Amino acid sequence: MAGSGIISPVPAAAAKTYLHMKITHIKTASFFIGCSLMMGCSKMADPLGTEQYAKSVYLVGANQSNNEGMQIMNIAYKASADETADSYISVATGGSQLIDKDLAVQVGQAGNAAVAQYNAMHRYKSTDIKYQLLNGVSYKIPDSLVNIKAGGIYGNMPIQIKTAGLHCDSAYALTFRIASVSDPSYAPIRTKDTVLLFSFKLFNQYSGSYQATGRYYKYGVASADTISLALVRTLTAVNFNTVRFYHLATTEEMKNLTASGVTIRVNSDKSLTFSSWGSLVIKSSGGSYDAINQRFYFWYNYMADGVENRFEGNFAKSSL
């Protein structure tokens, strides 16, 4: 009763509901306490903290899906027979984790079988230029042992190539495979795609794609018709200071080279000397090379059907 100091009894239904809620809260609290204790006692494992794949060592670029395992580098012609152009191949480690110890990898040569197979698959036509093994006098390998430091991914093996005497229309190659590794139980040699074909393209500072503009006409004839030209020409490196191109608008195909090949030698004073690559008769020539703007200004007189003609114009190096 109000004001009597006596607490009224709680109805039975309300008491039952209250007791159920209390028990539920206790169970829920116990569940979260238990989870917290479990999480505090053991950390979840990092799925990327351990090696996810088998470690291995391999030659970079040897994948058959990548041009049948052929790596092609750009190498500059050098001026003298004693100079060498520096290149390299790389040995790498595979796996999801970096190596935690130094590895020493011995690289060996793989012979001619891979070259013959490549030619059979990709250069089987009679007109195709076949790859050939580079002669031993034309290159040097200072050290074939590649060291990959702990925490590293790869190491390089240097190759020094003597470019003097190498023909611009030949296709040269070297073949390599891994011969041994210092700890094969830790990082074995990859068992597939084991052979790398190393090849190169020769260039010089004047070679590349050029926009050609000019005109040609019968030389010495006052009323001779003039024909203008504007087209793209490819200048191919022949040695360190000479390039070759196809005369006028001749299609740039090897079958036309003997009849229409022309070379330009850039002399030390940047003057130009034109010569025939094959049967085209060149009577005289002149011109200069603008090194700043990478442009040839020239003229040359040639014979066509017993008549002397002149071609004069310029080659401007393409920006791409």
- CA of 282: how far to CAs of 82, 168, 198, in Å? 33, 22, 38
pLDDT at site 130: 97
Give the model's confidence band at 66: pLDDT under 50 very low, under 70 low, under 90 confident, else very high: confident
Q: Find residue 181's DSSP bridge partners.
A: 105
3-state secondary structure at position 31 = helix
pLDDT at site 129: 96
Reply yes or no on whether the pLDDT at 202 is more than 80: yes
- pLDDT tens profile 113-152: 999 999 999 999 999 999 999 999 999 999 999 999 999 9
Contact 314, 296 (CB under 8 A): yes
- Mean pLDDT, the chain, rounded, equals 87
Strand residue runs (E) in 240-290: 242-246, 261-266, 272-276, 282-290
Domains, the chain, ordered by start: 56-203 (2.60.40.1740), 208-317 (2.40.128.440)
Q: For 44-64, what is the mean pLDDT?
A: 76
pLDDT at site 52: 62
Give the model's confidence band at 50: pLDDT under 50 very low, under 70 low, under 90 confident, else very high: low
Reply yes or no on whether the pLDDT at 42 is more than 60: no
CA end-to-end span of the chain, whole Å? Answer: 102
Reply yes or no on whether the pLDDT at 12 is more than 60: no
- pLDDT tens profile 67-115: 789 999 999 999 999 999 999 999 999 887 889 999 999 999 999 999 9
pLDDT at site 9: 41
pLDDT at site 94: 86
- CA of 159: how far to CAs of 79, 82, 89, 163, 244, in Å? 18, 15, 8, 12, 27
If one compares 54 and 110, the residue with the highest pLDDT of the two is 110
